[in-house]
Chains A and B, each alone.
Chain A
Amino acid sequence: MSETYPKRPSQLFRNLSAKIASVPMILTAVVVFAGGTAWTVLYSFTNSKLLPRFSFVGLDQYYRLWAAPRWGVAVENLAIYGVLSLIFSLAIGFLLAALLDQKIRFEDTFRTIFLYPFALSFIVTGLVWQWLLNPDFGVQAVVRGLGWESFTFNPLYDASIVIYGILIAALWQGTGLVMCLMLAGLRGIDEDIWKAARVDGIPMWKTYLFIVIPMMRPVFITTIVIIASGIIKVYDLVVAQTSGGPGIASEVPAKYVYDYMFFAQNLGQGFAASTMMLLSVIIVVVPWAYLEFGRARRG
């Protein structure tokens, strides 16, 4: 075998097409996601106003942020909205999925009905519920018209309960998705589990509670992560339904960020607030990622 060897292709140009095809991903990951995030975090320590400028002021923006009543309301709203929408969408979504899983007729029809709001935007959702909850024409007016004159259900104009008005709309829009995920999880349960439980004479509710739900742990975790990251982003719904009102009663952090960046011309505040949002995501996601992927690595 005395012939010359073919030249070994250079490492950089091996697989060149694949590397070219990945350039948009690399740019997005490095420049926009990593770079953009780092930039925002960095500039949250400056006193940028109308334009970003690099004049370091330490944690000033954060002190100001946490001193602002509007931010306090926003965080409190997000907490109430977050906890309740997590609980209710999981409970309702699972219940609906369990009902649909009873080998019922017209399953597809019911599923289509429960899921269609999810196809609609938050803007549309917010506007519909704004109309339904309109005190002069909506549900309150209809019930009063039936003779119950003292009936009061006016969340959108009552600062103390406005966040529940938004919650109702959000649940209407989002439970269909939870139901779908749960239904997929239920369908993934081995049929033989049900047969075994039936042979053992375990009542259905007990089977769900003690056997099926623990088996669906991964589905629940995925669903919770999805709901949670949706909660932190909530913005359009509030803008459409209440515009943050009455007053500042239905403000949320995402809206605070947008308003400070693009209206109040106080970029530094916006950056600080968005960094706080990032921090809250990290607090939610990191333990989950640790549990999920740490577990996988350990086998």
Chain B
Amino acid sequence: MADTATLDMAPAATATRIETGPRGAKPRKTFSRRNIFLYGTLIVVAVYYLLPLYVMVVTSLKGMPEIRLGNIFSPPVEITFEPWVKAWSQACTGLNCDGLSRGFWNSVRITVPSVILSIALASINGYALANWRFKGADLFFTILIVGAFIPYQVMIYPIVILLREIGLYGSLWGLVIVHSIFGMPILTLLFRNYFTSVPEELFKAARVDGAGFWGIYFRIMLPMSLPIFVVAIILQVTGIWNDFLFGVVYTRPDTYPMTVQLNNIVNSVQGVKEYNVNMAATILTGLVPLIVYFASGKLFVRGIAAGAVKG
């Protein structure tokens, strides 16, 4: 069929075609001025963005004598992992000299329950707001979202009092509660918007099928919203791991999270500055969010775009 069609068309087409002049695909140059400018700019900017990471890594692999003599951008002549070992297990903060490992495990003990608790609370709450609206729900939700714009400094001290009242001030669990509270606006918004976008008819069908509040949440909504849970986990793991302010306010030195301990190690005024150890410690602290970032790819972008709504 197709062949006959082309045969029929061909004579007419050739008859009207002008034989000279441009014909066929337009030529493309790989090294056009536009491309050189475009990729040139992007590569220069990319190098600028990567440089600090590169400097961190090379510094952490050098010995102190080499750092004192050399250039921060030059690769290590003699690679040593000594600074990493020292940062992890020997660096001192105050009287403790057991390295960043303490902060790392504190951060794990803070992050894991905070992520679970905050997401559990917010997802159920977002689901209630999306599908089981009750009188007054919108009012509280509005206060919650407006609250996300209030600087933390305004609420820090009242929370100290509240935590002291329930006996959790200074403990890991107090910090877990604080993270759940401050994660609530953005996460609730995230889940509420997601569950609102689930076709309402699905929810109605489940109600006709006799499922109730928890039945619909666990059997219908939860299994179909795994991506949004992953987004929420990414958002929370990086956010809580990177937190400094709440850590320094609500925990004691022996329960300090990694960021606080890192700052104390690097910015301690006592002793000789060991830049290689400092950089190793800095990388170690940044490693968890970086791994989450590189492993999650596009979902991280989705997460911050969702987080962006919060402000």
Beyond A128-B279, A131-B72, 15 additional pairs, beta carbon < 8 A: A17-B132, A18-B132, A25-B184, A31-B162, A115-B301, A121-B289, A123-B285, A145-B71, A177-B308, A226-B310, A232-B151, A261-B157, A270-B157, A274-B153, A277-B154
**B151: which of A99, A111, A277 is its contact (CB, 8 Å)?**
A277
Query: In the complex, how many angstroms separate the beta carbon of A126 from the nearest chain B beta carbon?
Result: 8
CB pair B153–A21 under 8 Å, yes or no, is no
CB pair A225–B305 under 8 Å, yes or no, is no
CB pair B289–A99 under 8 Å, yes or no, is no
Q: Which residue of A lies closest to B43 (CB)?
A: A110
Q: Decide if B31 is an interface residue (CB 8 Å cutoff).
A: no
Q: Decide if A68 is an interface residue (CB 8 Å cutoff).
A: no
Q: Decide if B218 is an interface residue (CB 8 Å cutoff).
A: no
Quick one: which of A99-131 are within 8 Å of B by CB? Answer: 99-100, 102, 104, 108, 110-124, 127-131
CB pair A104–B39 under 8 Å, yes or no, is yes
Query: In the complex, how many angstroms separate the beta carbon of B115 from the nearest chain A beta carbon?
Result: 15
Q: A124-B285, A239-B244 are in contact. Are A22 and B137 (CB under 8 A)?
A: yes
**Chain A contact residues (Cβ within 8 angstroms of B): what range?**
35 or more
CB pair A32–B154 under 8 Å, yes or no, is no
Please tell me which stretch of B20-28, B91-99, B140-148, B201-209 contacts chain A, meaning at least 4 of its Cβ atoms lie within 8 angstroms of it.
B140-148
CB pair B132–A29 under 8 Å, yes or no, is no
CB pair A22–B128 under 8 Å, yes or no, is yes
Interface string of A24-49 (1 = CB under 8 A from B): 11101111111111011100000000
Q: Decide if A262 is an interface residue (CB 8 Å cutoff).
A: yes
Q: Decide if B121 is an interface residue (CB 8 Å cutoff).
A: yes
CB pair A24–B184 under 8 Å, yes or no, is yes
Q: Which residue of B lies closest to A25 (CB)?
A: B125
A150 to B195, CA, bound (A): 61
CB pair A33–B134 under 8 Å, yes or no, is no
Which has the most chain A C-beta neighbours within 10 Å: B39, B133, B146, B286? B286
A108 to B51, CA, bound (A): 19
CB pair B49–A226 under 8 Å, yes or no, is no
Q: Which residue of B lies closest to A31 (CB)?
A: B162
Q: Which residue of A lies closest to B74 (CB)?
A: A142
Q: Which residue of A lies closest to B41 (CB)?
A: A99
Quick one: which of A168-199 are within 8 Å of B by CB? Answer: 172, 176-177, 180-181, 184
B-side contacts of A163, CB under 8 Å: none
Query: In the complex, how many angstroms separate the beta carbon of B56 from the nearest chain A beta carbon?
Result: 6
CB pair A40–B158 under 8 Å, yes or no, is yes
B-side contacts of A17, CB under 8 Å: 128, 132, 212-214
CB pair B154–A36 under 8 Å, yes or no, is yes
Interchain residue pairs with CB less than 8 A apart (15): A18-B132, A32-B155, A37-B150, A40-B155, A40-B157, A96-B45, A114-B45, A114-B46, A124-B286, A180-B301, A222-B308, A229-B149, A235-B244, A240-B244, A257-B153
Q: Which residue of B lies closest to A239 (CB)?
A: B263
B-side contacts of A31, CB under 8 Å: 162
A56 to B140, CA, bound (A): 31
CB pair B158–A172 under 8 Å, yes or no, is no
Q: A37-B150, A114-B45, A278-B150 are in contact. Are A138 and B262 (CB under 8 A)?
A: no
Which has the most chain B C-beta neighbours within 10 Å: A115, A128, A138? A128
A-side contacts of B137, CB under 8 Å: 18, 22
CB pair A24–B49 under 8 Å, yes or no, is no
Query: In the complex, how many angstroms separate the beta carbon of A47 from the nearest chain B beta carbon?
Result: 15
Q: Decide if A258 is an interface residue (CB 8 Å cutoff).
A: yes
